[in-house]
Amino acid sequence: MTHPQVADTQVLGACPHDCPDTCSLVTTVRDGVAVRVQGNPDHPATDGVLCTKVSRYTERTYHPDRLLQPMRRVGPKGPNATFEPVSWDEALTNIAQRLSQIAATDPEAILPYSYAGTMGQVQGESMAARFFHQLGASRLDRTICASAGAEALIHTLGGKLGMKTEWFSEAKLILIWGSNSIGSNLHFWRLAQQAKRNGARLVCIDPRRTETADKCDEHLALNPGTDAALALSLMHELIVNGWLDHDYLAQHTLGWEQLKARALQWPPQRAAEVCGVAVEAIERLARDYGTTRPAAIRLNYGVQRARGGGNAVRAIACLPALTGAWRHRAGGVLLSNSGHQRFNATALQRPDLLGARRPRLLNMSTIGKHLSPDAPHAPVRALVVYNSNPVAVAPDSSSVVAGFAREDLFTVVLEHFRTDTADYADYVLPATTQLEHWDLHGTYGHTDVVLNRPAIAPRGQALPNTEIFRRLAQRMGFDEPCFSDDDLTLCQQALSQADGSEFVPFKDLLAFGFVSIPGPEAPFAKGHFPTPSGRCEFFSQRLAAQGQDGLPDYLPNYESAKADAAYPLAMVSPPARHFLNSSFVNVTSLRDVEGEPLLEIHPQDAHSRGVQDGQTVVVFNDRGRYVCRARVSQRPRPGVVVGLGIWWRRHGLNGTNVNELTSQALTDLGRAPTFYDCAVEVALA
């Protein structure tokens, strides 16, 4: 028997994940079913290639565990909770009733909790923000990932701005600083390899010998949280050896004499001691950096998850101004380019709906404290979670879990799957995936805008976040016309500028799927830093006015893992290559690659504890216990253990993950978490 041939269609989309690469996707649809997701060969930054994770997007979208209808919890909260299906009508009516009741006495008792499950302008903070603004709910300080580094950049360069990624391919020296690029920034790694083929030297600065470090010319395995000491010592060497661009310093920087005095306190001997690396390694790195043109730094978020993370980013971001590296398009530093994106947040989020109200701001990174009955503020009585899995990803899980388990807390979770967080929900609402809705994406890696078209109809009864908040708004009686804007209108509002123009032309996005933002090839070649002084601010008056040190400095970790202390090992918990934070952990083919939750431990540290490869160990500190398998490995430096993240708690041998051990202490700048500033001990279980 022959079947009539149905033509495949190809739909252009955008990768929604919190990854600097923001790939342009091509989804092949056959008979209404997405059969393949591939990288768009016409998009230069994607270059036709996706990471393994997103190549498996159809497996995630059609996963048998996808939530396809609204669910209501019956019985107690937690991993053993049971849920029963309810209609959308009943779920939304009940949720609106509960939220209205709470809002009638104190709208600030309601807290949204969201992050970057999707980075979309539309399915992120658009209709959701309008809803919470109208309600007068508490506002969420979204600090869990990047805010320490972001503030550092703003106070140094004037914005989240840096080199254009494509020019890394022309650099002759690349410092890959606090980044496992092969795992988490694949398309940058391709450019770095191109540079290497053209003779560039690659240096990786990371306490772990990552797969990226394996492939670099040199690996500097410093102690976690000591990057500022290294950067100041590099400055010391640039000064004493005269590897400075005096003209650039005079024309385009502020506070040089002060920074110079600070840096001269950091001879390599001192930094070597703090960083736990050889004096010669620092001297060699300084010589390379001081004498190679063009020299580029790919800085990433690994350096800013410790107490002094903001200062570390400030110190590193100063380096290219000392040598004038910015003069060349392949010189400078890149942490984030999100400052180039000029989406209209006011139009999307409508803060005017607050009127004169100024609700309190609660920090997502200390959600455990905010949910505690002992919180030093009026209680949070309802949580609405979307685009995030806080029970797995927020620090100090036992505190987070205790909060989510409160019987008097009303919790709604919008999700694709029954995550660790959904275990604590009163209602779980099924959300669409990227293949099922419209969205518009900026990026923090390259400098394009990428449009996402829906490729398939929503699965089951799933709805886009926007539609869920639209319907809730209607149930709550919010009759402002903005609550009826559809998703295409929201896309256009995101692009609209105050002067009536468009940030980038929507019609081009519809036609090509992506548009590049115009901008200079070398942003700071002639200075023009968007700081108050117009210069690269080594000394920041704004920070000094806040009572902070105006200059970057080295701040030791809160939890310095000293050999003689109760918790002598420093634990870092960076991303696993085949997961995206806690997303994809339930995608079988990807979980099979990662295997199981592991703790990497150096042979020396394993030996002194009688631990052998493959044995079950307990990792512990005063906050909790995490039981997993030991992987005895040369990857971590001695004294450092690595728990690649972020597994779901239910996969942990004792129902926990690495965040059972991390703390709610915050960084020096940006009120951000200190995931990699965490002292632990390890023993055989």
Ligand X SMILES: Nc1nc2c(c(=O)[nH]1)N[C@H]1C(S)=C(S)[C@@H](COP(=O)(O)OP(=O)(O)OC[C@H]3O[C@@H](n4cnc5c(=O)[nH]c(N)nc54)[C@H](O)[C@@H]3O)O[C@H]1N2
Contact residues for ligand SF4, defined by CB under 6 A: 15, 17, 19, 21-23, 50-51, 53-54, 186, 580
If you search the block for the tokens 């230069």, which residue do you land on?
44
Q: What are phi and psi of 136, to 5 degrees?
A: 80, 25
Rounded to the nearest angstrom, the gap between the alpha carbon of residue 179 and the centroid of all alpha carbons in its chain is 12
Question: Per CB under 6 A, does 303 bind ligand X?
Answer: yes
| C-alpha span between 484 and 493 (Å, rounded) | 13
For 403-464, the DSSP string reads HHT-TT-EEEEEESS--TTGGG-SEEEEB--GGGS-EEE--SSSSEEEEE---SPPSTT-B-
Pick between residue 225 and residue 302 the one whose CB is nearest to Mo ion: 302
Helix axes 465-475 and 88-105, enclosed angle (nearest 10): 60
CB of 32 to ligand SF4, least distance (A): 23
Which class for 608: exposed (0-12), middle (13-18), buried (19 or more C-beta within 10 A)? exposed
Question: Per CB under 5 A, does 392 bind Mo ion?
Answer: no
| C-alpha span between 492 and 494 (Å, rounded) | 5
| C-alpha span between 47 and 188 (Å, rounded) | 11
Sign of the dihedral defined by the CA atoms of residues 235, 241, 243, 244, in that order? positive
Pick between residue 21 and residue 487 the one whose CB is nearest to ligand SF4: 21
Question: Per CB under 6 A, does 658 bind ligand X?
Answer: yes
Pick between residue 327 and residue 635 the one whose CB is nearest to ligand X: 635
Question: Per CB under 6 A, does 207 bind ligand X?
Answer: yes
List 138, 210, 338, 399, residue binding ligand X (CB under 6 A): 210
Question: Per CB under 6 A, does 444 bind ligand X?
Answer: no
Pick between residue 54 and residue 630 the one whose CB is nearest to ligand SF4: 54
Pick between residue 249 and residue 306 the one whose CB is nearest to ligand X: 306
Q: Please state the three-class secondary structure of 257-319 as a single string.
A: HHHHHHHCCCCHHHHHHHHCCCHHHHHHHHHHHHHCCCEEEEECHHHHCCCCHHHHHHHHHHH
CB of 178 to ligand X, least distance (A): 4
Per CB under 6 A, which of residues 351..390 are in contact with ligand X? 386-389
Per CB under 6 A, which of residues 606..645 are in contact with ligand X? 645
First-to-last C-alpha distance (Å) of the chain: 61
CB of 459 to ligand SF4, least distance (A): 20
656's contact among ligand X, Mo ion, ligand SF4, none, with CB below 5 to 8 A by partner kind, is: none
Q: What are phi and psi of 666, to 5 degrees?
A: -115, 160
Pick between residue 127 and residue 353 the one whose CB is nearest to ligand X: 127
CB of 17 to ligand SF4, least distance (A): 4
List 121, 147, 169, 179, residue binding ligand X (CB under 6 A): 179
CA angle 295, 296, 302 (to 5 degrees): 140
22's contact among ligand SF4, Mo ion, ligand X, none, with CB below 5 to 8 A by partner kind, is: ligand SF4
Contacts of 507 (CB under 8 A, 6+ apart): none
CB of 647 to ligand X, least distance (A): 10
Which class for 218: exposed (0-12), middle (13-18), buried (19 or more C-beta within 10 A)? middle
Pick between residue 37 and residue 580 the one whose CB is nearest to Mo ion: 580
320's contact among Mo ion, ligand SF4, ligand X, none, with CB below 5 to 8 A by partner kind, is: none
115's contact among ligand SF4, Mo ion, ligand X, none, with CB below 5 to 8 A by partner kind, is: ligand X
Q: Please say whether the beta carbons of 433 and 88 come within 8 A.
A: no
Contacts of 547 (CB under 8 A, 6+ apart): none
574's contact among Mo ion, ligand X, ligand SF4, none, with CB below 5 to 8 A by partner kind, is: ligand X
| C-alpha span between 590 and 582 (Å, rounded) | 12
388's contact among Mo ion, ligand SF4, ligand X, none, with CB below 5 to 8 A by partner kind, is: ligand X
CB of 126 to ligand SF4, least distance (A): 21
Count the alpha carbons within 13 Å of 466 in the hemisphere toward its beta carbon. Answer: 27
300's contact among Mo ion, ligand SF4, ligand X, none, with CB below 5 to 8 A by partner kind, is: ligand X
Question: Per CB under 6 A, does 311 bind ligand X?
Answer: no
DSSP for residue 677: -
15's contact among ligand SF4, Mo ion, ligand X, none, with CB below 5 to 8 A by partner kind, is: ligand SF4
Helix or strand run (H / E) with residue 619: strand 616-621
Q: What are phi and psi of 450, to 5 degrees?
A: -125, 130
Question: Per CB under 6 A, does 129 bind ligand X?
Answer: no
Question: Per CB under 5 A, does 145 bind Mo ion?
Answer: yes
User: Could you tell me the CA-to-CA distances from 590 to 22, 57, 587, 597, 654 in Å, in that order?
Assistant: 20, 11, 6, 13, 22
DSSP for residue 118: S
Question: Per CB under 6 A, does 302 bind ligand X?
Answer: yes
Q: How many residues does the chain have?
A: 685
CB of 192 to ligand SF4, least distance (A): 14
Question: Per CB under 6 A, does 445 bind ligand X?
Answer: no
Pick between residue 18 and residue 420 the one whose CB is nearest to Mo ion: 18
From the list 249-257, 299-307, 343-351, 663-671, the region that binds ligand X by CB under 6 A is 299-307
List 167, 343, 538, 579, residue binding ligand X (CB under 6 A): 579
Pick between residue 54 and residue 154 the one whose CB is nearest to ligand SF4: 54
447's contact among ligand X, Mo ion, ligand SF4, none, with CB below 5 to 8 A by partner kind, is: none
Q: Which residues bind ligand X (CB under 6 A)?
A: 18-19, 115-118, 123, 144-145, 177-180, 183-185, 205-208, 210, 224-225, 227, 300-303, 306, 386-389, 393, 414-417, 419, 431, 465, 572-575, 577, 579-583, 645-646, 658-659, 662, 675-676
Q: Which residues bind Mo ion (CB under 5 A)?
A: 18, 145
